[in-house]
């Protein structure tokens, strides 16, 4: 069991379903305010996607990330900022192979373009993130013809970019093969110690959200790593307890689950508060952002 736990709050995500919630933050100001509220509730890390303020759809615009980070930092609330680099990896295929591929809904771009906002913020120097994500494999997303594509060389390029920018990489693992390649990147010297690993469960069709699959991945983790895990929807809160029992940290937030209880929409701060209640009821303590920095050797 992990007795010293940090909480990550995934504030909004990129899925249009999240906008069903009245608490879904859309504008940079709303995203920053929700992140700050989550931090005040006990989150040490806030994981940030941005949206187009007018349409509510996902965005990759650096200006929106810049505004969110600026507002969080200007709030005076201490929290580690974790920016996604996951957008730009979707390919929708047609039924007639290459004649219809890429189909509508594809946003596939280079690895560098997926990370452009992080690169630009680091070059500017003022609002650089503490952490940025790297999706560690290719995965079928949902029941139709959409896949997220992250090849070994794309991952190598992304890891090297973040290493050279001195931004901590969070390695998002969606299946067991993803974890296999994480260990390969560590072997190649692309991941500074300690590796920060997020085990993502319950997302169709990655690793299922059940104890057996999580235990198998935990048993395969590389040495000297710091890991968290999460499950989506109704499994979010049970996964808080499950992750701690197996020695990990936790992630909650509206990116992964909209509800506090059946039919009751949650805010990010409420989800963090509920996770904190579970953690402390289990006899563990919540790490502060400062203590989390030490744990991650930032």
Contact 72, 36 (CB under 8 A): yes
Q: What is the CATH number of the domain that holds 260?
A: 3.20.20.70
- For the entire predicted model, the pTM comes to 0.96
Q: Is the peptide bond before 205 cis (omega within 30 degrees of 0)?
A: yes
Q: Which residues lie below 8 Å from residue 255, measured CB to CB, with a gap of 6+?
A: 10, 11, 12, 13, 15, 18, 47, 49
Name the packing angle between helices 236-245 and 268-281 (round to 10°). Answer: 40
pLDDT score of 157: 98
| Of the candidates 205, 198, 264, 206, the residue with the CA atom closest to the CA atom of residue 234 | 264
Count of domains in the chain? 1
Query: Could you tell me what percentage of the chain is helix, strand and coil, using 3-state DSSP and rounding each to the nearest 5?
Result: 40, 20, 40
Give the mean pLDDT per block of 10 residues along the chain (298 residues).
98 85 95 98 98 91 98 98 95 94 93 98 97 96 91 98 98 96 98 98 94 96 97 97 98 96 96 98 98 97
Cα–Cα dist 203/132, whole Å: 20
* Distance from chain centroid for Cα 38: 15
Contact 56, 31 (CB under 8 A): no
pLDDT score of 160: 98
pLDDT score of 29: 98
Name the one residue in this structure whose structure tokens are 């933050």.
Answer: 25
pLDDT score of 15: 81
Cα–Cα dist 107/96, whole Å: 19
> Domain of 21?
4-296
| Of the candidates 102, 190, 174, 182, the residue with the CA atom closest to the CA atom of residue 140 | 174
Q: Which residues lie below 8 Å from residue 87, measured CB to CB, with a gap of 6+?
A: 14, 49, 58, 60, 107, 114
Backbone angles phi, psi at 265, to 5 degrees: -70, 140
Cα–Cα dist 105/90, whole Å: 8
Cα–Cα dist 66/249, whole Å: 28
pLDDT score of 111: 97
CB atoms within 10 A of CB 105: 11
């Amino acid at each position: 069991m992990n007795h010293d736990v940090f909480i990550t709050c995934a504030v909004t995500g990129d899925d249009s379903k999240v906008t069903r919630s009245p608490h879904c933050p859309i504008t940079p100001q709303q995203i920053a305010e929700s992140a700050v509220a989550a931090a005040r509730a006990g989150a040490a890390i806030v994981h940030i996607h941005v949206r187009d303020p007018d349409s509510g759809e996902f965005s990759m615009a650096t200006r929106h990330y810049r505004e969110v980070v600026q507002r969080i930092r200007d709030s005076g609330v201490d929290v580690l900022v974790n920016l996604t680099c996951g957008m730009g990896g979707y390919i929708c295929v047609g039924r007639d192979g290459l004649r219809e591929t890429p189909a509508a809904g594809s946003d596939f771009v280079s690895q560098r373009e997926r990370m452009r906002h992080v690169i630009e913020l680091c070059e500017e120097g003022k609002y650089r993130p503490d952490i940025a994500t790297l999706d560690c494999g290719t995965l079928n997303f949902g029941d139709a013809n959409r896949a997220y594509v992250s090849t070994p060389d794309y991952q190598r390029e992304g890891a090297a970019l973040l290493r050279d920018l001195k931004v901590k990489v969070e390695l998002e693992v969606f299946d067991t093969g993803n974890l296999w390649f994480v260990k390969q990147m560590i072997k190649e010297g692309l991941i500074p110690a300690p590796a920060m690993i997020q085990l993502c469960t319950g997302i169709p069709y990655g690793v299922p959200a059940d104890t057996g699959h999580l235990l198998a991945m935990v048993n395969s983790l590389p040495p000297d790593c710091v890991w968290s895990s999460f499950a989506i929807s109704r499994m979010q809160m049970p996964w808080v307890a499950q992750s701690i029992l197996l020695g990990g940290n936790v992630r909650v937030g509206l990116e992964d689950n909209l509800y506090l209880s059946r039919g009751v929409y949650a805010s990010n701060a409420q989800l963090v508060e509920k996770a904190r209640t579970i953690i402390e009821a289990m006899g563990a303590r919540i790490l502060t952002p400062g203590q989390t920095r030490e744990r991650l050797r930032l």
